[in-house]
Amino acid sequence: MLGIPLWVIFVLGGIAISAFMAVKTGKEDRAAENEIIEREGEVYMKRLEEEKKRRDGEERVYEN
């Protein structure tokens, strides 16, 4: 095969497979990370909403 040793072809194939797997894993990690961030954001927004309701309730008590 064009004078290229077989082991060189295997090494280049391994590099290509490794690069593909690195890109694939990176995308999966980013997707999982975004999902976690989204859930944490929802929890934070829920806490803010609860705190706002609690403060609105306290202000009404002081108004009377």
* The two three-digit tokens of residue 11, written as one number: 């090494």
Chain length of the chain: 64
pLDDT digits (tens, 9 = 90+) for 6-16: 999 999 999 99
How much is the pLDDT for 8? Answer: 96
The CA distance from 18 to 12, in Å, is 10
In degrees, rounded to 5, the angle at the alpha carbon of residue 43 between the alpha carbons of residues 37 and 48 is 125
pLDDT digits (tens, 9 = 90+) for 21-33: 999 999 999 999 9
How much is the pLDDT for 62? Answer: 62
